[in-house]
Structure 1
Amino acid sequence: MNLPILVVGLLLLGGCTSNPRSEVKQKATAAQRPNIILLLVDDMGFADVGCYGGTFVPTPNIDRLAAEGIKFTQYYSAAPICSPSRVGLTTGSAPGKFNITSFLDTRRHNRQCEQADFLVADAPSVARQLQAAGYATAHFGKWHMGGGRDVDNAPGILRYGFDAYASTYESPDPDPLLTSTNWIWARTDSIKRWRRTEYFVDKTLAFLKSHPNQPCYINLWPDDVHTPWVPDESTLDAYPNGTEKPREFKGVLAELDRQVGRLMAGLREQGIDDNTLIIFTSDNGPLPNFDGSRATPYRGSKLSLYEGGIRMPFIVRYPARTPAGRVDQQSVLSAMDLFPSFVTLAGGASSLQPRTDGEDVTPALLGKPHAHTAPLFWEYGRNSKSFRYPLGRDRSPNLAMRQDNWKLLLNDDGSQLELYDLARDPKEVTNVAAQHPTVAANMRQQILAWRAALPAPPEAPLTK
């Protein structure tokens, strides 16, 4: 979008925050296919926002999403770091199947991590699947599944099934308004660091407005909760490279909440609020963790397979079909479940879906708790040189598995076996492997077999 179009979009949105829902004619019915907005925050901890116990700053708009929808307490990302977690969401499959196990960076870094340079274009894509089902599709925000730095051959975002996009530096197609230099952000960017989420919300609302008779699927993936934090011009003057201090974190979190409020108001203004499904979640755990407070009550952080690195806030709001004010403490959900569930909600034929690792959890998204039938698996780390963080007690083994209430962690060489009963010990304090040898042995066998079945790391950059 060029600047004149952006200005027009802002004028159209002016004043919408004061328009109460009761004044807008809502036309949604259960038979309509919903708009789907996947609002994926970057590095948000389980306890960052008020409705999950956060006390950093008030987050009334995010809390209202939960009050008007369903708040889940047992949702898991596909990985404890950004690139593989996003691959899991996009493909509905374990990111290791595409050889993406850490954040994507330079070719040298990717080789050191024993991973690919980008997600291959022919990988399953939820956007492509919904596009085939008649949806208009868009990606606004961080991509980080290939492109940037010296990786100049990553497929363009349109090749994954998107009709429109605006993305940041860590993509094959960075928006020039966000990337005046060859880096993530700069003082000279036309859209300043602290205005990015506003920009992406404007893009989202404009895209919806331009498709009044077509359902839309939109990735709204803001990146401002990821360090370095730059909430305003004065911070940039004081910290030219950004900062990781609590004061600035509170600033970016407050701004994110304001933009969630603008998004919701814009949906009401367009009369599509009732028939829009919003998923609010995070790609992985927080870093810095401020002495564990951002992931409370869980152990771990970003880069860790303990709960604090992979258990995420997850809110579903879909007024036409979901109950309001519900807290689901029973359903165990995975990021990989969203692919088949979105296809079902979009009216797509399940027989035409590519095979994924996720389960269709549509009933849970609509208010009926879901018991996950298959175990969940995670991988983070293929060598000790590139995967040596976080330090201390939050550094986990490089494999993890959850089956019912049991959580097993293990290194792929068989060392450091840990077993936790999450029903009794959600903070993962007491390793009970010795007390439950049969459970530990069975899960150990499963997780090592799962790891052995993943493809071998690439020996050279992928060019497909």
Structure 2
Amino acid sequence: MKTLILICTISIGLALPLNAAEQPNVVLIFADDLGYGDLGCYGATKVQTPNIDQLAREGRRFTDAHSASAVCTPSRYALLTGEYPLRANDGAGVWGPAPVTSGLIVDTEKVTIADVFKNQGYATAALGKWHLGFGAGTNNWQEPLRPGPQDLGFDYYYGLPVVNSAPPYVYVENDRIVGGDPADPLVYIGRGHNEVATPITEIPPEASQRTANLFKGAVEAHKKYNDYTVGTVLANKAVDWITANNQQPFFLYLATTHIHHPFTPGKDFQGSSDAELYGDFVQELDWMVGEVTGCLEKQGLSENTLVIFTSDNGGMLNLGGRNAVRAGHLINGDLLGFKFGAWEGGHRVPFIAKWPGKIEAGTESDQLICNVDMLASFTALTGQDSQALQSKDSVNVLPALLENPKQNIRKDLILAPKKESHLAVRKGNWIYIGARGSGGFTGSQPSHHAWGGPPAVQFVGGVNSDIEDGRLKKDAPPAQLYDLEADVNQTRNLYNEYPEVVEEMSKLLSTYAPPKRRSAPKTGNAAATNGAAKRTAAMPSTRSATFDFESGKLEPWKVVEGQFNHIVGNRDRFFHNKGECNKQGDYYLTTLETSATAERGSDQQTGLIVSPLFIPQGGEMTFRVGGGGGPATYVALCTADGTEVETASGVNNQLMQRAVWNLAPYVGKKMFIKIVDDSTTGWGHVTADNFQFDAELLVQYSETQAPELTTLKATYSEAQGIGVEEGVMRRDPSDIIKVGDLYYLWYSKGTISPGYDATVWYATSLDGHAWTEKGMALAKGEPGSWDAASVFTPNILIAEGRYWLFYTGTSRQFGKGFNPDSKIGIAVSDSPDGPWERLDTNPALKNSDNPEDFDSHLIDDACLVVREGKYWFYYKGRQLGKSPAETKLGLAIASQPQGPYKRVEDNPVIPGNHEVLVWPQGKGVAAMIGTTGPKEITRSIMVADDGLHFSKTHNVIDVPTAAGAYRPEAFSDSGAGKRIQWGVHIGKQKGSLPFIERFDLVPASN
């Protein structure tokens, strides 16, 4: 057990309750995404919260309370551990929501708030949303699910392992899946698979976004989980647990899923508020609180129970939040910003404490407090020595709850948004944010689930001096300073007016985080036309051939290139403005939708869809077409050899237009219809419906329906500063990242042509053309180490707020008969400028011990992307006894940037290529193939929707050699990657050692 020292008095002078009868019970209710303006006692008028309002009347309401993070997982980390979330993961921090793949984030050796109570003989329980990871994060979900809540001081746990918007959609009790069956285990299948996930509760689109199930099996366990009964289940569990433990002091941590999306209130609460489903969910939360407080009253426990009610972060402007705002409900009151951001709306939260006889009823406090303070406060409450705590971030604010101190207890406070670059510090009335903008979600359109930042401020009528017309002003200061005493709504950035305060606050912030933050970057609908068709009901066709998709399926059409997640849709209203789209009947073809319930579509989906062949019999073909009007989105009539003879497109509007083609010239010929979507920009999609014509349909497809591969070419120019230099070799460049205004690049440097006697250097650039060599980043390893002879072929990963330098090393000295034994290691730094510290676990990946494996001789050349919350590590390998020409590409995956990395069973994933360059392409992964490998794939780009099974999509003329590229989406896990545009490679010139040269990738026609 993790123990603390017992002391005899609480710091405020109260006599310490030493026997069980006098020890106070504590109930901590931790709501999810509840905004500062969501409760009646905080000013809401469109929702009714009588039970929570009663808590405020009978206790103390705080007006300057905060969550340590504006994001769910790090906020929970701070609450349980008393540490700022930037200290998690050995200082790397935790900044975003934990994915389903995450292991337990909290170190089981840390003292938690549950340990504090358990040390004093309390019964302890955690109920509801966990979202801090289970086990080692291997995704095998084998019971027991340990480590977990019971390894952090909780005697009992019952709840959701992640969150109500993400799988697995099951309950966990202690360390077992409720309703689990060894004969039908819960199995993670992830995305991009052909397996069928277990069905889950159906919810309407207006309930807001919910991730599709990523698990199969555990059918009975899934049946026990229903989105509409979670509130009732958790409230009943709380009542039952309190009742069962009423004879001993207890601590209950009730972490509700309310009011996190999806908004699925129980039947009794649907339509109960004046703020849409969002408000209904708030009112069900209030009922849950009433069930708990009513139980305490019924059991005669109210007088000796401290009840604390608060939220994990501010309200989120998702679909439900926006609907509430439209109904007149301001989820965060008049505060600036929302969940995920550094502005007050992201982290200033309701906080109410009630303890009859100890906390003066009906009082209000403007003391600065934070959820991170609960550890020290509960330690003092139970008579233990808070000085013995490992965490120095947690401050004992018990005096703020029980007394009325005139001075602020807290001197300063660190507040974390989703982006580390926007870490904020509060001191007195000042708050300083080290970058421009909110540091939260940045979706720019109201249809985006992740809407935030300046456009969202404009939507709710907010005012800020850095924002104009929903955009950051170009001349906005590089950081932000606000006086919250005079301007709690943050209408005026005082950065330029108080330089001395800026300097003081910046220095204070730097004591909590290394100087690795970077400034935030500076940064419609078309009207309907007269040609728009009218919506009609489905009706029998009088023509001999019809494609109206009323079966709800794409067949007999097929996708021959690319991927579309929901190709046949049936929604009545368009995503962007809920306008009519003029479909015929119920179903229509769409390249925009991602699922039947998705809140928004994705123009990132691209590909080609074709009909079967048919032989026209004359007359006209009529149909409807909508979406984009650009050259990359259209419908075409084609001859059997693929020649396009007629085309039609939308007009950048959701309204489908009526189109007519004359088929008389094509009577007796084999024809087919092709739908092309090769655009990822706005209006980069096609909708189509109700093709009516007279023809003989053939049960066959054109052999030339797939278009010719697009051909690109690489053009080359000087990389000034790292180009040709006598006696100097520079080669094997990394991929390029941008930090602030600077591009960063790492590469091998030495005095011989190969990289086998080299060190890793780096350079920076403002424009990608002129580079400044900054110096050595990584030296050779210690004598006798695996990387003692050379370190080379570096690459970079940005993850968890740090920089991870992957590099190849060899222990063998270069010379006659040299045969490398290369392996890949990792060094880490808090800044792209270093210093770099090698991991003790190096090498991170080494050659296989099985001589039959493709990588049994050596491995080299790391290239990483982040997918589905994991780190995908592509590398090249060579088998024992094989030549360099037989090098192939492999893949290993890890849940953490430092590993361990596990090879995939499908290795090698590409049967050739001497160098590795991959990047996110849409939701998939693309790879550039050089001059080595099977002839049919060389000098090309290949794409794999699942990141594993690659197919050729482009030819590349003058393909770069051992290239590194600028890949801005490589680590975003956004599912919206785009083809690379430029980078650097190894330049070669007669009489010179290898050097770095810039390339640009352009269409071959340019």
Superposition TM-score tier, normalisation by shorter sequence: 0.7 to 0.9
Residue 273 in 1 paired to residue 267 in 2? no
Query: Paired residue for 1:169?
Result: 161
Q: Deviations over 1:47-66 (max 9, x none)?
A: 00100001222111110000
Quote how far apart the aligned CAs of 1:363 are: 1.0
> Cα distance 1:287–1:192, how it changes in 2: closer, same or farther (>3 A)?
same
Query: Paired residue for 2:658?
Result: none
- Equivalent of 1:51 in 25, 33, 41: 41
Query: Paired residue for 2:26?
Result: 36
Quote how far apart the aligned CAs of 1:351 are: 4.3
Give, as a single letter, the amino acid of the residue that structure 1 aligns with 2:297: R
Within 5 Å, which residues of 2 pair with 1:119-268?
A: 119-147=106-134, 151=139, 155-170=147-162, 174-175=172-173, 176=177, 186=201, 189-232=223-266, 246-268=275-297
Distance 2:199 2:316 in 1: 18
> Cα distance 1:456–1:409, how it changes in 2: closer, same or farther (>3 A)?
closer
3-state SS of paired residue (1:450): coil
Within 5 Å, which residues of 2 pair with 1:56-455?
A: 56-98=46-88, 99-107=93-101, 118-147=105-134, 151=139, 155-170=147-162, 174-175=172-173, 176=177, 186=201, 189-232=223-266, 246-288=275-317, 289-290=321-322, 291=325, 293-328=330-365, 330-369=366-405, 371-381=408-418, 398-411=422-435, 416-452=478-514
Q: Deviations over 1:366-406 (max 9, x none)?
A: 132461343111233457xxxxxxxxxxxxx6111100000
Contact 2:100–2:162 (Cα < 8 Å) also in 1: no
Q: What are structure 1's unaligned runs of at least 5 residues?
A: 1-28, 111-115, 237-244, 384-396
Contact 2:368–2:408 (Cα < 8 Å) also in 1: yes
Q: Deviations over 1:104-161 (max 9, x none)?
A: 0155xx7xxxxx8622222331101221122111000101011398645862210000
Contact 2:81–2:111 (Cα < 8 Å) also in 1: yes
Query: Paired residue for 1:459?
Result: 897
Contact 1:30–1:320 (Cα < 8 Å) also in 2: no
Distance 2:199 2:388 in 1: 38
Distance 1:59 1:376 in 2: 30
3-state SS of paired residue (1:295): coil
Stretch moving more, 67-76 or 50-59: 50-59
Distance 2:426 2:409 in 1: 10
Distance 1:117 1:203 in 2: 24
Quote how far apart the aligned CAs of 1:267 are: 0.5
Q: What are structure 2's unaligned runs of at least 5 residues?
A: 1-18, 189-197, 203-221, 440-476, 517-799, 803-895, 902-1006
Select the structure that is richer in strand. 2
Quote how far apart the aligned CAs of 1:358 are: 1.3
Distance 2:70 2:419 in 1: 14
Contact 1:144–1:170 (Cα < 8 Å) also in 2: yes
> Cα distance 1:185–1:331, how it changes in 2: closer, same or farther (>3 A)?
farther
Quote how far apart the aligned CAs of 1:208 are: 2.4
Distance 1:379 1:258 in 2: 31
> Cα distance 1:166–1:298, how it changes in 2: closer, same or farther (>3 A)?
same
Contact 1:299–1:427 (Cα < 8 Å) also in 2: yes
Give, as a single letter, the amino acid of the residue that structure 2 aligns with 1:460: Q
> Cα distance 1:461–1:345, how it changes in 2: closer, same or farther (>3 A)?
farther
Contact 1:71–1:315 (Cα < 8 Å) also in 2: yes
Quote how far apart the aligned CAs of 1:248 are: 1.2
CA RMSD of aligned residues (A): 3.3
Select the structure that is richer in helix. 1
Larger relative contact order (Cα-Cα within 8 Å, sequence gap ≥ 6): 1
**Of the two, which has the highest radius of gyration?**
2
Contact 1:130–1:348 (Cα < 8 Å) also in 2: no
Contact 2:133–2:148 (Cα < 8 Å) also in 1: no
3-state SS of paired residue (1:294): coil
Quote how far apart the aligned CAs of 1:246 are: 4.5
> Cα distance 1:462–1:375, how it changes in 2: closer, same or farther (>3 A)?
farther
Distance 2:344 2:333 in 1: 10
Contact 1:135–1:214 (Cα < 8 Å) also in 2: yes
> Cα distance 1:406–1:104, how it changes in 2: closer, same or farther (>3 A)?
same
Query: Paired residue for 1:12?
Result: none
3-state SS of paired residue (2:229): helix
> Cα distance 1:299–1:150, how it changes in 2: closer, same or farther (>3 A)?
farther
> Cα distance 1:435–1:445, how it changes in 2: closer, same or farther (>3 A)?
same
Contact 2:104–2:148 (Cα < 8 Å) also in 1: no
Distance 1:141 1:423 in 2: 36
Distance 2:29 2:43 in 1: 20
Give, as a single letter, the amino acid of the residue that structure 2 aligns with 1:193: D
> Cα distance 1:178–1:265, how it changes in 2: closer, same or farther (>3 A)?
farther
Stretch moving more, 130-139 or 153-162: 153-162
Quote how far apart the aligned CAs of 1:170 are: 0.9
Contact 1:380–1:398 (Cα < 8 Å) also in 2: yes
Identity of aligned residues (%): 30
Distance 2:76 2:401 in 1: 20
Quote how far apart the aligned CAs of 1:452 are: 1.4
Give, as a single letter, the amino acid of the residue that structure 2 aligns with 1:316: A
Contact 1:284–1:310 (Cα < 8 Å) also in 2: yes
Give, as a single letter, the amino acid of the residue that structure 2 aligns with 1:82: C
Q: Deviations over 1:159-206 (max 9, x none)?
A: 000000102031897244599987996366435323323322322232
Distance 1:446 1:259 in 2: 41
Quote how far apart the aligned CAs of 1:453 are: 8.9
3-state SS of paired residue (2:130): coil
Q: Deviations over 1:406-429 (max 9, x none)?
A: 01001399x821100001111111
Distance 1:320 1:421 in 2: 36
Distance 2:416 2:360 in 1: 35
Distance 1:178 1:260 in 2: 27
Contact 1:118–1:154 (Cα < 8 Å) also in 2: no
Contact 1:76–1:335 (Cα < 8 Å) also in 2: yes
Contact 2:33–2:314 (Cα < 8 Å) also in 1: yes
